[in-house]
Amino acid sequence: MTQGYFISFEGGEGAGKSTQIKRLHAHLQASGYEVITTREPGGSPGAEAIRELLVNGEADRWSPVTEALLMYAARRDHVERVIRPALAAGKVVLCDRFADSTRAYQGAGGEAPTTLISSLEDHVLNGTVPNLTLILDLPPEIGLKRAEERGGAARFESKGLRFHQRLRAGYLEIARQEPERCVVVNADAELDAVTEAIWAVVVQRLDF
């Protein structure tokens, strides 16, 4: 592989992304791929510093537009310093959240203008977009309960059920608009069943 392959994982709170990413990472590595796992907001030292500002504090600490700008400042650093170099080296990049999180959380959930978010995508990413996006979908009531049990009400988890319902609808709309890139996976299922569903999609896309 000379150009690498970029896979992003998306979904609401408590969708089980971290577990599934770990499993996919191990499976790809065992199949001979060079893999890195990274996350957003964060993934590079500068972006991790911005993450601290974003995930802590009161729910209304930032407006949705300010949040989108901070997310994109972090994303640009992460893309420049981690994602592009890994792809250029031919690696598979697994990213826990990427640009669709901004569309869903700040756009659909927070109602920041779509035109602003599209324009940030165009100008800041310059074409570095995932080859494949796996959207782990489940009812927000279930996801929020899982996230709560996991501990600590983080800033985005405390935004209320209606926000999380808009967020889920936002993800499903992204998948409808970009069916080539996005695959919706039912995350309201046994862990192993979700792992198998993800593997079935990835096998089809990568060279095995």
Binding site for ligand TMP (CB under 6 A): 40-41, 55, 71, 96-97, 101-102, 105-106, 156
CA 48 to chain centre: 15
Q: How far is the CB of 100 from ligand TMP (least distance, A)?
A: 8
Q: Which residues contact 165 (CB under 8 A, 6 or more apart)?
A: 140
Q: How many residues does the chain have?
A: 208
Residue placing its CB nearer to ligand TMP in the complex, 21 or 202: 21
The Cα-based distances of 164 to 14, 99, 180, 193 in angstroms read 11, 17, 25, 24
The two three-digit tokens of residue 166, written as one number: 């808009």
HEC per residue, 63-131: CHHHHHHHHHHHHHHHHHHHHHHHHHCCCEEEEECCHHHHHHHHHHHCCCCHHHHHHHHHHHHCCCCCC
- Which of 105, 97, 103, 131 has the alpha carbon at shortest distance from 117? 103
Lookup: tokens for 195 = 């792992």
Cβ proximity to ligand TMP, 15 vs 33, nearer residue: 15
**CB of 68 vs ligand TMP, minimal distance in Å:** 7
Shortest distance, position 55 Cβ to ligand TMP, whole Å: 5
Nearer of residues 33 and 136 to ligand TMP, judged by Cβ: 136
Whether residue 41 is preceded by a cis peptide bond, meaning omega within 30 degrees of 0, is: yes
CB of 101 to ligand TMP, least distance (A): 3
Shorter beta-carbon distance to ligand TMP: residue 120 or 132:
120
Q: How far is the CB of 135 from ligand TMP (least distance, A)?
A: 13
Smaller CB distance to ligand TMP: residue 157 or 183? 157
Q: Which is nearer to ligand TMP, 17 or 33 (CB)?
A: 17
Q: How far is the CB of 90 from ligand TMP (least distance, A)?
A: 25
